[in-house]
C-alpha cells in the first residue's frame, strides 16, 4: 500500500520532503507533481523501480527516461552540452521542457537509448519538485505518469493513490497539477528537433 504525503505547494514541509527523499534512497518508486503534470520517480540505477515504471507505462527499451535536475550545474554532469545548445537550454529553464542530449558516463547504461546513447534531462519550475531534488542531492529518474491507452496523465493525488496503490510506494500531493506533459526537444545532433509539443512554448525552438 502506497504512503500518501500531503505537501504544501508553496512552503513544502521539510520533514515530509526529507521522509520522501529517504524512501527514494531506500528504493521507493514515487508519484509526484511537477510544473507540467504528475510523474513517476526513483533513484538513479534502481533497476527494480525502473522495471516497475516500464510495467506501469508499458514502455519499451527505446523510451527516453528523464533526469529531473535541480539546476544547470547538476544537469551538465549527466549530459554533454555545447555552447549553442547551452544558451538555448539556459534560456528555457527552469520550465516545462525535456531536452534529449548525449549522456555522459555518469548515466547508468540501462537508462540510455540503446542506439543513440542519449537521455532526457529537465529542470522543473515547481517548488515541491525542486525541494525534493535538492534534498535528494542527485537527479530524480522520472517518466510522465501516463497510463497505457489513456490520452491524458493522471492529475489528482487521491486518484493516483487509488489506482496505483499496489504498484507505487508513495504519492506526493501538493494540490492541482497540470494535464499536459513537457515539451520535448531533441538536441542530440546539435540542432533543435521538436519531438513532442506540450506545456512549454515551442516558439523559441522553431
Residue-wise pLDDT tens digits, 76-110: 999 999 999 999 999 999 999 999 999 999 998 88
Q: How confident is the model at residue 128 (pLDDT cuts 50, 70, 90)?
A: very high
Q: Where are the domains of the chain?
A: 3-205
**CA nearest to 194, candidates 92, 81, 59, 67:** 92
Region of residue 118 (phi > 0: left; psi between -120 and 50: alpha; otherwise: beta) = beta
- What whole-number distance in Å separates Cα of residue 173 and Cα of residue 88? 32
Superfamily of domain 3-205: DHBP synthase (3.90.870.10)
> What digits encode the pLDDT tens for the residues 151-188?
888 889 999 999 999 999 999 999 988 889 999 999 99
> Can you tell me the distance from the alpha carbon of 160 to that of 196, in angstroms, rounded to the nearest whole number?
24
Of 110, 117, 120, which Cα lies nearest the Cα of 182? 120
- Write down the pLDDT at residue 115: 85
How confident is residue 9, by pLDDT bands cut at 50, 70 and 90? very high
Cell, residue 30: 514515487
Over residues 41-66, mean pLDDT: 93
Whole-structure pTM value? 0.95
Amino acid at each position: 500500500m502506497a504512503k500518501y504525503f500531503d505537501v504544501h505547494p508553496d512552503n513544502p514541509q521539510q520533514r515530509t520532503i526529507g521522509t520522501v527523499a529517504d524512501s527514494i534512497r531506500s528504493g521507493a518508486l514515487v508519484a509526484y507533481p511537477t510544473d507540467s503534470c504528475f510523474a513517476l520517480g526513483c533513484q538513479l540505477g534502481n533497476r527494480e523501480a525502473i522495471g516497475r515504471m516500464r510495467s506501469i507505462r508499458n514502455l519499451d527499451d527505446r523510451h527516453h527516461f528523464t533526469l529531473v535536475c535541480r539546476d544547470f550545474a547538476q544537469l551538465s554532469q549527466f549530459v554533454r552540452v555545447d555552447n549553442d545548445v547551452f544558451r538555448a537550454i539556459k534560456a528555457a529553464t527552469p520550465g516545462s521542457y525535456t531536452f534529449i542530449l548525449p549522456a555522459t558516463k555518469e548515466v547508468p547504461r540501462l537508462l540510455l537509448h540503446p542506439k543513440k546513447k542519449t537521455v532526457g534531462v529537465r529542470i522543473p519550475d515547481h517548488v515541491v519538485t525542486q525541494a525534493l531534488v535538492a534534498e535528494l542531492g542527485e537527479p530524480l529518474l522520472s517518466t510522465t505518469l501516463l497510463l497505457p491507452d489513456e490520452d491524458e496523465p493522471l492529475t489528482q493525488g487521491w486518484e493516483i493513490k487509488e489506482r496505483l496503490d499496489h504498484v507505487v510506494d508513495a504519492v506526493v500531493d501538493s494540490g492541482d497539477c497540470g494535464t499536459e506533459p513537457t515539451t520535448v526537444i531533441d538536441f542530440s545532433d546539435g540542432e533543435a528537433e521538436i519531438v513532442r509539443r506540450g506545456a512549454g512554448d515551442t516558439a523559441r525552438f522553431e
